[in-house]
Amino acid sequence: MKRRYAGIERTAVQDRQDFSGENSGNLRNLAFEPIEISLDDDGEVQIVDSVTRAVEFLTTQWPVRYGEAFEDALHICIDGIAGRASPQQVRSAFIAAAKAAGILVNSE
């Protein structure tokens, strides 16, 4: 059995993207124009300014984890990390999801 899965594990490791060391510039390429959002009525403003930060918000702090806008934003974030979507596309999808969820957004 171990031999059977060895090839799968090797492929999975090769498919992972390395954001450390000499490839750390990749993270800078995932940045976009900052978006100010307020998740609740206390007025606390938080900044989302990169694909990785958008993923973090969508997966850990998002109040409404269903619906087309949320799912689209999450998929576009994944595509952004994989290089299949631009940071600007991620930003637009994130703003649309925030508006659909009733989150206050200042994107200007």
Instruction: Tell me if residue 61 falls in helix, strand or coil.
Output: helix
| CA 26 and chain centroid, separation | 14
How does pLDDT run across 56-106, given as a tens digit for each residue? Answer: 999 999 998 889 999 999 999 999 999 999 999 999 999 999 999 999 888
Q: Would you say 30 and 87 are in contact if contact means Cβ atoms under 8 Å apart?
A: yes
Cα(81)–Cα(17) distance, integer angstroms: 9
- Which residues, including other chains, have CB under 8 Å from residue 60's CB and lie 6 or more apart? none
Q: At what angle do helices 68-82 and 87-100 cross, to 10 degrees?
A: 160
Cα(7)–Cα(21) distance, integer angstroms: 26
In the chain, domain spans: 31-106
pTM: 0.72
